Amino acid sequence: MVDIYFSTHYICGMLINELSKKTGISVHTIRFYEKSGLIEGKQNEAIKSNNYFHYNEVTVDKLAFISDAKSVGFTIKEIGQIIDTWYNKKYTKKQKLKILDDKLISLEQKLKEIKEMKKKIFLLKEDVVNNRC
Amino acid sequence: MVDIYFSTHYICGMLINELSKKTGISVHTIRFYEKSGLIEGKQNEAIKSNNYFHYNEVTVDKLAFISDAKSVGFTIKEIGQIIDTWYNKKYTKKQKLKILDDKLISLEQKLKEIKEMKKKIFLLKEDVVNNRC
DNA sequence: ATCAACCATAGAGCATACTCTAATGTTGTA
DNA sequence: TACAACATTAGAGTATGCTCTATGGTTGAT
């Protein structure tokens, strides 16, 4: 009988391979994100035979967010900023709100540009349909 | 008195420096786009003393389009495809429509993702406002 | 004890999209 | 004719975001 409250898994969370499988992000890329400061694992002080990093569900959430944020065109730096408004004490409340408002503005801008591009492509399509080009 | 109908400018359009000033895109970047196949200048057969390239208003339009298309996240390759549905005989009508439809679908997808990200950032902002993180 | 499957770090390599430098030739105005 | 301001090509360098390789140690099932 194993006391789950003292199992390695319960205390330390998952290792990088499990995190990779859970998120669909490669081990290499996860390490790259860790080096870039977007996520961080913890080493268990009690275990001295290895220096393995352990990750929790917060990291899973962060990686899901990173994927989404990359899709909308945010850079690693920008994603780091947003994540730091989240769990981090790096910024004051005022700074956090400024960062988030800036991102909302840039998303609004992207929305506008994409709608305009849709119109342009649509007009181009009309020209093709009507043999005008 | 200069006969403008025979002036170099009228026949050949502008040189790269003027194109750069007109579009706000650097000479280097314009050359990069030309190497990438997005635009093309023409050399004047009649002038043998130099090998200068001449550009017309179509190129100005193309460069404006390239800037917009880059903003919405299209790659050079994708932009090339779109431009080739435009003035080019490289594709059949059917192929052109396929390319443009694909782009419309990807723009629709981007629109969706950005709207979702706006919601996420908005909720995050609420958390900051209410001191929940 | 062996061995596949994991873990770590350091650093090289790659694709994209520029951005710049070097070397050299041309044009047009003073 | 001098010279600043243009033009050309070839290729090197930079930033971003991965992606992979090398090397070596650890874990866990047989």
The ipTM is 0.89
Torsion, CA B76, CA B82, CA B88, CA B93, rounded to 10? 150
Closest B-chain CA to A111:
B111
CB A51 within 8 A of CB A58: no
What is the residue range of B127's domain? Answer: 91-133
Distance CA A107, CA B71 (A): 12
Q: Min CA distance, B1 vs chain A (Å)? A: 39
How many domains, in total, are found in chain A?
A: 2
Q: Is the pLDDT of residue B61 over 80?
A: yes
CATH of the domain at A19: 1.10.1660.10
Instruction: Round to whole Å and give the CA distance between A108 and B121.
Output: 12
Is B33 among the domain residues? yes
| Residue A129 in this model has a pLDDT that exceeds 90 | yes
- Decide if B85 is inside a domain: no
Q: Does residue B39 contact residue B55 with C-beta atoms inside 8 Å?
A: yes
Same domain, A109 and A64: no
Question: Pick the residue with more confidence: B12 or B43?
Answer: B43
User: For residue B14, what are the β-bridge partners?
Assistant: B55
Nearest-nucleotide field for B66 (CA, C1'): C17
Average pLDDT, chain B: 91
Which residues in chain B have Cβ-Cβ distances shorter than 8 Å to A117?
68-69, 72, 107
Please check whether residue B22 is in contact with residue B62, taking contact to mean a CB–CB distance below 8 angstroms. no
Q: Per-residue pLDDT for A54 more than 90?
A: yes
| Residues A10, A61 share a domain | yes
Pair (B102, B43) in one structural domain? no
* 3-class secondary structure, A42: strand
Within this chain, do residues A57 and A20 fall inside the same structural domain, yes or no? Answer: yes
Which of B27, B49, B76 is the endpoint of a domain? B76
- Asked whether residue A87 carries a pLDDT value surpassing 60, the answer given is yes
> Which residues have a Cβ under 8 Å from the Cβ of A116 and sit 6 or more positions away?
B68
- For strand C, is any atom closer than 7 Å to the CB of B77? yes
Calculate the dihedral angle through the C-alpha atoms of B40, B45, B48, B53, rounding to the nearest 10 degrees: -10
pLDDT at A5 over 80: no
Residue A30 lies in a domain: yes
Tell me whether residue A53 is in a domain: yes
Which of A100, A123, A127 would best serve as a mutation to test chain B binding (most B beta carbons within 10 A)? A100
Same domain, A105 and A61: no
Residue A121 Cα to chain centre, angstroms: 31
- Would you say residue B2 has pLDDT above 60? no
Q: Within this chain, do residues B3 and B63 fall inside the same structural domain, yes or no?
A: yes
Length in residues, chain A: 133
**B32 in contact with A at a CB cutoff of 8 Å?**
no
CA-to-CA dists, residue B110 to A61, A66, B65, B67, B100, angstroms: 21, 16, 18, 18, 15
Cβ contact (<8 Å) for A110 and B72?
yes
- The answer to the question of residue B83 being in a domain is no
Nearest chain A residue to B111, by CA: A111
In the structure, how far is the CA atom of residue B41 from the C1' atom of nucleotide D7, in angstroms? Answer: 13
